[in-house]
Amino acid sequence: MSELFDRVDALVASRSPLPPPAERRRLRQAHSLTLDEVAAALDVRRATVSGWEAGKTEPRPPERDAYARMLKQLAELYPAPTEQDRAVPETFTSEPAPAREVRTAAGPVSEAAAMTATESTQTPAPVAAAPTAAPRPARTVGPSSTSRRPVARKAAPTSIPAAGTDRRFENGPLAVVDVDADGQVLAYCVGGLVLEVPAKSLPSLVEWTLKEAKLGAPKLSGPGKDADPLLVLTPSALERYGLPTTLTDEERHAGRIPEGHKVIKQLTRYDWKLTKRGFGPWARIYRPATGSERACVQLCIPSWNALDTRHWGEAAQLAPADLARVLGVYASRVMTPRGSTAVTGLELMTALHPPTRASEPDADGRRHSEHNPGSLGRDPVDCAPCEAPDGHPLLADLPRFHVRGPAEKLFEEAYDWARPMTDAECTLRHLVGIDVNMAFAAGANGLTVGLGAPTHVEAPVFDAKLPGSWLVDLSHVDLSRVRVGKDKWADLDASLLPSPFTPKGERPTGPAWYATPTVAYAVELGYEVRPLEAYVRYENGRYLDGWYQRLRDAFLTTMADLGVHADMEPAGFLAAMDGYRSRDPELAVVVSAVKATVKGGLGKLRERPRGEGWKPGQPWRALARPTWRPDIRAAVISRTRINLHRKIVKHAAFTGQYPVAILSDCVVYASGGAGPLDFLPYRDGKPLPGGFKLGINPGLVKHEGTQSVLWGEEVRERFDAPELNLARYIKDGQVTDKDSGE
């Protein structure tokens, strides 16, 4: 009988109305639940819960029943406030507190005058919701017209919270500092919150930030560190604090202003220090930590080219409130920027997997710093000789002009391949490019990488689960007959396919060094491999999983804000992608920055020398980092290239269609129609298993661009280049002499 009642209860719950989206959000926040916690409990993605709370999607069974049950229980615990409750901020009604003073440089200010600041931070909204830009507020400073106190003002309602659950950082991770027409210094925070800044000099601005501004962000991992507050200085703020609004050519080349600048002397006078990179576009001002207390503020100076236009678009030209919105969304979904998107991508890896943690208490009850399992550790490790880039100290004994070949150097890079079109392809009308979303992030997902130093092994037995670099001859792998399933083989035209083993798509001619995913693919295709030697890493793990998940969620959540959701039907997805950037250009900037964080972070794993008088054979600064790991970069690129080739083979085996050009994560096919659905084999709305699938999730594809076959042939004839890579120009069709190598 109880089982029967349970079924009846479930039936009723499946038809019960859910509270409106805003109420769902209120109930979750009232119980201090995060989007991630709710998503984990319901076994769905964070972006899915965000969509429910934003009213963009509705839950479906079986998750709907569990979600409705949770909301019902929360509603019993936290009834909706009455009109009388709404008249006074919840913090002051539920837990009355005595009146207090707010002290500023101008003297004490009453509790009533400070309540505006408190009201601005009491009702945090989910990070996933798309924020709106805030206009510059009227300059109202409190009950006294002569008061210069740093009071908070809410410029406009937004969906990004000015406050988090951590009261230390209730004003958000960052602020854009600007000077208004009346000469007042204002700090524009996330959520439309604006603070008046009393600081008259840069040292006092740093002090104010650490003691009064309540800026920063909680750590991303248990053993990690809280994010330091970030101040973004506009040109007017630079002038106010005695800094140049732009850098000279010499300063730009050096990446900093001179050590003798008057502002640096001011900082030194007040015992503030700068990091080794000095006072540049991303300056860090600090005092040595005392115990666990940090005293560090980071500056971002857009007019000094801190925000690269390739990744941040025209963000540097935005109004202060709009710039705070863009950087605030990025900070809340990825992390507070620590420099360029590449630097931030690398720092995110460390923030999620700190090198050390506190040990268990010893006999005296004291804790000590110890290695954090699953991290890269605190000390750098040497790479294998084959993994070392040219000029590395490990190669110092090589002859000066020696050029290493495939048998000496691991060369795992993304595709840059093209071929002439066949006569049959020339009769078709269109060239259609498809692009893999977040391809390198997808390549990192679930990938086992080395955590420690390599071990050299002679004549090893290949182990696909063991990360490393393998010297093996794959020239015998014949793409004309490959295995495409457990017991299924396919006959293909190998002349129309790139080799999966080389970036240029050329078939190997002898032994060469490969990362584990590349060798494993040869086995998957049905061929035997016999490595001659290897450098393997027995200490390994899925180091990049958390990194991938954080960036994936940031990407999907922001795309959902722009109207592009996961699990859309193919035609609806293509329609949603058409012009998505124009729906909210500022959020489109965040999307670009997230994607640049993926590629840049992986690139930093093999950072090359950057001037500083470096000579071949000498170490350079990046080698001192435990995150200088060219083997991890190679493994991710290898897996990304192999993932793409696997889809190409499945597509060719099923349709007889072959790519015309491939550039990194973009593939071009000749087609009779102008869109992806004209050549991708969908049946009843379902894609080819293991092939290309349209969608916004990492690893799925979108439409990159379409040009005519006549355009492609004309371009190749113009530059007398039958194998010019058309994937490079498929998006807009613009080809210049410089691009073609002329």
Query: Which tens digits make up the pLDDT trace of 165-187?
Result: 688 999 999 999 999 999 999 99
Banded model confidence at residue 105, pLDDT cuts 50, 70, 90: very low
Q: What is the mean pLDDT of residues 484-505?
A: 94
CA distance 61 to 15: 10
Burial class, 454, CB count within 10 angstroms (exposed 0-12 / middle 13-18 / buried 19+): buried
- What percentage of the chain carries pLDDT values higher than 90? 69
| Radius of gyration, CA atoms only, the chain | 29
Q: Is 376 a residue whose pLDDT tops 90?
A: yes
Question: Could you tell me the two tokens for 706?
Answer: 């379409």
Confidence at residue 670, expressed as pLDDT on a 0 to 100 scale: 98
Q: Is 450 a residue whose pLDDT tops 90?
A: yes
- CATH assignment of 2-86? 1.10.260
Q: What is the mean pLDDT of residues 80-102?
A: 41
Question: Could you tell me the two tokens for 465?
Answer: 């689960």
The full DSSP string for 68-108 is: HHHHHHHHHHSPPPPHHHHTS-HHHHHS------EEETTEE
CA atoms within 13 A on the CB side of 80: 10
Confidence at residue 33, expressed as pLDDT on a 0 to 100 scale: 85
Confidence at residue 428, expressed as pLDDT on a 0 to 100 scale: 97
Confidence at residue 166, expressed as pLDDT on a 0 to 100 scale: 82
Banded model confidence at residue 143, pLDDT cuts 50, 70, 90: very low
Name, in order, each residue with C-beta under 8 angstroms of 386's C-beta and a sequence gap of 6 or more: 408, 409, 410, 469, 471, 513, 535
Q: Model pTM?
A: 0.79
**Longest Cα separation, the chain:** 85
Confidence at residue 180, expressed as pLDDT on a 0 to 100 scale: 93
Residue of 331, 202, 218, 316 whose CA lies nearest to 265: 202
Confidence at residue 661, expressed as pLDDT on a 0 to 100 scale: 98
Query: Taking the domains of the chain in order of start, what are their residue ranges?
Result: 2-86, 116-336, 385-413+445-541
Confidence at residue 37, expressed as pLDDT on a 0 to 100 scale: 83
Confidence at residue 573, expressed as pLDDT on a 0 to 100 scale: 97
Q: What is the mean pLDDT of residues 457-462?
A: 97
Q: What is the mean pLDDT of residues 572-596?
A: 97
Long-range Cβ pairs for the range 336-340 (8 Å, 24+): 336/173, 336/174, 336/216, 336/217, 336/227, 336/228, 336/230, 336/298, 337/230, 337/282, 337/300, 338/282, 338/298, 339/282, 340/282, 340/308, 340/311, 340/600
Which one-letter amino acid corresponds to residue 104?
A: T
Confidence at residue 9, expressed as pLDDT on a 0 to 100 scale: 63
Cross-strand pairs, 281: none
Confidence at residue 560, expressed as pLDDT on a 0 to 100 scale: 97
Instruction: Name which of 20-29, 82-91, 552-561, 682-691 the model is least confident about.
Output: 82-91
For tokens 């965000």, what's the residue?
50
Dihedral Cα 245, 249, 253, 255, nearest 10 deg = -10
Question: Could you tell me the two tokens for 508?
Answer: 């190997």
Q: What is the mean pLDDT of residues 522-550?
A: 97
Confidence at residue 89, expressed as pLDDT on a 0 to 100 scale: 37
